[in-house]
Amino acid sequence: MIVGVPTEVKLDEYRVGLRPVGAEMLVQRGHSVLVQSGAGEGSGFPNEMYEAAGAKIVDSAEELWQKAEMIVKVKEPQATEVRQIREDQTVFTYFHFAADKDLTVGCLESKCIAAAYETLTDRHGRLPLLTPMSEIAGKLSVQEGAKYLERPQGGRGVLLGGVPGVEPGHVLILGGGVVGTCAATVAAGMGADVVILEVNIDRMRELGEFMPPNVRTIYSDPQSIREHLSWADLVVGAVLIPGAKAPHLISRADLVHMKPGAVIVDVAIDQGGCVETARVTTHSDPIYTVDGVVHYCVGNMPGSVARTSTQALTNATLPWVLKLAEHGPDALAKKDPHFAAAINTNRGVLTNQPVAQAHNLDFEPLAV
Ligand SMILES: NC(=O)c1ccc[n+]([C@@H]2O[C@H](COP(=O)([O-])OP(=O)(O)OC[C@H]3O[C@@H](n4cnc5c(N)ncnc54)[C@H](O)[C@@H]3O)[C@@H](O)[C@H]2O)c1
């Protein structure tokens, strides 16, 4: 199999889909690896490391997309990339098709096999290629929130950990899943006073067993949200209703009850955000203020810590890249239903039902 690793072209994206060690393992198994020059640079993996691993560096994206039988990348293909996808080529990356009809139609027309990280499952029904990015975004949410709480950044001028004689900052986390748990761990470690609002009582029991004493869980309803909004210095939006748009748990009218200079980090912005006033921002221009409340709504938070994110992502994806290279997409989908769940489009056929519903397109289950 010829495996191609392009340089990401999305704005502010520094991750790469394969590390040099991944290239080495593919080459050892008899495959060829083409890496676009500079693809690993943003994550601290220069061309020389890929060459030492046995990969071939190619200068242009065109050459790479033309020669590779399988593409391994990070972000959903951008318009310039969609045009280069070839019939029968396997593209293994995040797609988030439900959010982008043009991308869906483009991939169908290309007749490629689009294997999406975000729908690959494990035996517990979880999404193992999404989890590492949620862990990173959760930890980062408090790091970013702490930064924008600083007065020169437009925040309230609050140190989350406090000092002796001064109370710590108050952190409110909406949703106690992967993002929320990681956010709570960091905030609690800094010494903040943390409340997680959840609707899943079993999850709250679990959190109670391992969270430190400065983290409390409270049932999430409109009243508890309102009460805690006026208490919070930092709010982290981390709710998810699988397959659906995030619910707006904080309305514009709620903002007046918040402290001036408080910060909202809406991590759920990739699902539309759980705050009515949230709109997607970029690492280059990450915040804006509404009614005195600072909003941070970056859609690809892990991209800013590209080295950690590339390592975490490729730890999860590499075993699948190796299996795909060994068996090819058809045999692997037959053998393994968890990989079959990743295939969203197969040679012009849309094989993911929620995506078909989202865009009112025809759906056909994957024939395995
Ligand atoms: N912006 C980014 O860069 C980025 C990166 C990674 C993940 N995300 C997003 O972060 C969000 C959270 O992801 P996750 O992996 O933690 O999901 P998760 O499924 O692990 O957790 C979501 C939690 O929200 C809870 N919940 C649902 N409705 C609620 C409500 N009304 N009030 C309180 N809690 C409620 C659920 O019970 C669940 O525990 C997702 O939208 C995900 O796509 C964004």
Q: Residue with structure tokens 């930890």?
A: 139
Q: Are 117 and 317 in contact (CB under 8 A)?
A: yes
295 is annotated as an active-site residue: no
Q: Are 76 and 99 in contact (CB under 8 A)?
A: no
| CA angle (269 as vertex; 264, 274 as ends), nearest 5 | 65
Q: In angstroms, rounded to a whole number, what is the distance separating the alpha carbons of residues 272 and 96?
A: 12
Whether the CB of 176 sits within 6 Å of ligand 1: yes
Whether the CB of 204 sits within 6 Å of ligand 1: no
By percentage, how much of the chain surpasses pLDDT 90? 93
Question: Which pLDDT belongs to residue 270?
Answer: 84
Per-residue model confidence as pLDDT tens digits over 192-224: 999 999 999 999 999 999 999 999 999 999 999
3-state secondary structure the chain: CEEEECCCCCCCCCCCCCCHHHHHHHHHCCCEEEEECCCCHHHCCCHHHHHHCCCEEECCHHHHHHHCCEEECCCCCCHHHHCCCCCCCEEEECCCHHHCHHHHHHHHHHCCEEEEHHHCCCCCCCCCCCHHHHHHHHHHHHHHHHHHCCHHHCCCCCCCCCECCECCCEEEEECCCHHHHHHHHHHHHHCCEEEEEECCHHHHHHHHHHCCCCEEEEECCHHHHHHHHCCCCEEEECCCCCCCCCCCCECHHHHHHCCCCCEEEEHHHHHCCCECCCCCEECCECEEEECCEEEECECCHHHHHHHHHHHHHHHHHHHHHHHHHHHHHHHHHHHCHHHHCCEEEECCEECCHHHHHHHCCCCCCCCC
Whether the CB of 299 sits within 6 Å of ligand 1: yes
- For 106, 199, 223, 280, the CA distances from 264, given in Å and listed in that order, are 35, 20, 18, 13
283 is annotated as an active-site residue: no
Per-residue model confidence as pLDDT tens digits over 259-270: 999 999 999 998
Whether the CB of 175 sits within 6 Å of ligand 1: yes
Per-residue model confidence as pLDDT tens digits over 93-125: 999 898 889 999 999 999 999 999 999 999 998
Q: Ligand 1, atom 42: nearest CA belongs to which residue?
A: 268
Whether the CB of 303 sits within 6 Å of ligand 1: no
Per-residue model confidence as pLDDT tens digits over 269-314: 988 899 999 999 999 999 999 999 999 999 999 999 999 999 999 9
Whether the CB of 237 sits within 6 Å of ligand 1: no
Q: Ligand 1, atom 38: nearest CA belongs to which residue?
A: 177
C-alpha of residue 205 to centroid of ligand 1, in Å: 18
By percentage, how much of the chain surpasses pLDDT 70? 99
Q: In angstroms, rounded to a whole number, what is the distance separating the alpha carbons of residues 2 and 31?
A: 6
Catalytic residue of the set 96, 170, 228, 295 = 96
pLDDT-derived band of residue 243, with 50, 70 and 90 as boundaries?
Answer: low
C-alpha of residue 23 to centroid of ligand 1, in Å: 33
Ramachandran assignment for 127, one of left (phi > 0), alpha (psi -120 to 50 degrees), beta (any other):
beta
Per-residue model confidence as pLDDT tens digits over 2-43: 999 999 999 889 999 999 999 999 999 999 999 999 999 999
Of ligand 1's atoms, which has the minimum distance to the CA of residue 266? 1
Which pTM does this prediction carry? 0.92
| Of 242, 234, 229, 239, residue with least CA distance to 273 | 239
Whether the CB of 293 sits within 6 Å of ligand 1: no
Domains and their CATH numbers in the chain = 2-120+306-359 (3.40.50.720), 131-299 (3.40.50.720)
Q: How confident is the model over 177-192, as a mean pLDDT?
A: 98
| CA angle (245 as vertex; 253, 350 as ends), nearest 5 | 160
Mutate to test the pocket of ligand 1, among 139, 179, 221, 251 (most ligand atoms within 8 A of CB): 179
Question: Which pLDDT belongs to residue 246?
Answer: 85
Of ligand 1's atoms, which has the minimum distance to the CA of residue 274? 41
C-alpha of residue 129 to centroid of ligand 1, in Å: 15
